[in-house]
A and B are shown apart, each in its own frame.
Chain A
Amino acid sequence: MASALEAEFPGLRAEWIRCECSEHRSDPGVGERLAQLASRFSGRQAVELRQQQVPAAYRSFFLQIGIDPDQQPTPIEQAVLGRLLAGGNLPQDRISDALLLALLETAVPVIAFDASFVTEPIELRGARAGEAIGANELAPGTLIVADAEKPLCQLFAAPEPPLAAGRASQDLLLVAVAPPGVSGLASDEALTIAAEAISGG
């Protein structure tokens, strides 16, 4: 990670893991686990989530980097809100289900990239002048997830195709962004859960 950012936010880090995805259809086992997790969150739990350690760390970090978490909810709050509005965790496809499962289990969001478009290592840094993601030019200093060569996505924004893992992706690179206050155990667990759910392990 860029040392300037590390100096500003000691403990902020990106962790990543590679995995294979040979089957893109939803895994019934993962669907079942998602259905079980849906019953974990009622309206009260959804509100009280913000007081738990990991979600609180993401909220604080959002505020510290200029995002209002009540306008743009943290990934876990967004997922729980989505579950309440939809009435359950509806299975979509293997990758989306795996990412949702990891998020609901650990509160740590995981992003899936198509590994064939990404060059390790992954780092978090501010965008440089002239850098862009697709057709969108980034304002210098915008916090991004980047690989060794280029910006991949804005921090806490979904990556866009072809970088985002999709139905044609075989090799995936899963990335977890952990702000200060989120233990390595939580981010490791999120990556492992997502990788196992994708590769069917």
Chain B
Amino acid sequence: MAALLLDHGASNELLAREELALGEQAGRRTLRAQIAQLDRLLSAAVCEAFPDRLELAPLPAGGPRVQGLGELELRRDALIDALRAARQQLAARELERDAARTLLAQMLLDPAKYRRVRISQRELGVGGCGVWSVMPKLGPMGRLMGWWRVKLSSGCPLAT
């Protein structure tokens, strides 16, 4: 009877261990899915920022090996931090672009008030190499007469 009870206890322990292992494996699988999802979101942010580069902290490394729960959690948390930093940088950049667009609108309304101010297409979030600048009409004559206008430069330099 005692032997039977002992056997029963041992098999219970074995079952509990197996359940724990399966639970841990399921946990790792969930964390891996979260990591994949976070990387997709981070990749989208990196693409959105192009041609600017996002400043992101390197992720903890230690592979290639099957990562434990703790390591996966660390990586998941680091990705969350990276995604947060990426979104903050994108938001800050959008604010700068808004400011540049407002400034350009004001320049167009009253060029004389913004003499020699330059705004690049990049600052506006538009592709290309053009630069909006307030220039005097007719060179020195316009400068003396106070004839100012906003001009968009012709774009990227030709390849040599």
Contacts and interface: CB of A to CB of B under 8 A. Distances in A.
Nearest to A50: B43
Given A8-B28, A47-B50, A66 B63 contact: yes
Interface string B83-98: 0000000000000000
B62 A66 contact: yes
A64 B51 contact: no
B46 A63 contact: no
B101 interface: no
B133 to A, nearest CB: 26
Given A47-B50, A50-B47, A60-B35, A66 B40 contact: no
Contacts of A44: 50-51
Contacts of A5: 66
Interface stretch (A67-75, A78-86, A166-174): A67-75
Nearest to B36: A60
B58 A71 contact: yes
Given A64-B67, A65-B67, A70 B43 contact: no
A4 B25 CA distance: 10
B65 A51 contact: no
A51 B47 contact: yes
B75 interface: yes
A8 B43 contact: no
Contacts of B56: 70
Interface in B21-42: 25, 28-29, 32, 35-36, 39-40
B59 interface: yes
A63 B79 contact: yes
Contact of A70 (B47, B58, B72): B58
A149 B58 CA distance: 37
A22 to B, nearest CB: 34
A155 B63 CA distance: 9
Contact of B44 (A51, A70, A71, A126): A51
B20 to A, nearest CB: 15
B39 A142 contact: no
Contact of A66 (B25, B28, B46, B71): B71
Contact of B65 (A4, A7, A65, A70): A65
Contact of B51 (A43, A62, A139): A43
Nearest to B50: A47
A142 B140 CA distance: 72
B64 A142 contact: yes
15 contacts: A8-B66, A47-B47, A47-B50, A51-B47, A65-B63, A65-B64, A65-B65, A66-B62, A68-B60, A70-B56, A70-B58, A71-B61, A142-B64, A143-B65, A143-B66
Contacts of B59: 63, 68, 70-71
A137 to B, nearest CB: 15
**Residue among B40, B65, B71 facing the most chain A CB atoms (10 A cut-off):** B65
Contacts of A70: 56, 58-59
A141 interface: yes
Given A4-B66, A63-B36, A70-B58, 20 more contacts: A43-B50, A48-B47, A51-B43, A51-B44, A60-B32, A63-B59, A63-B79, A64-B35, A65-B67, A66-B60, A66-B65, A66-B67, A67-B64, A68-B61, A71-B61, A126-B65, A126-B66, A139-B65, A143-B63, A143-B65
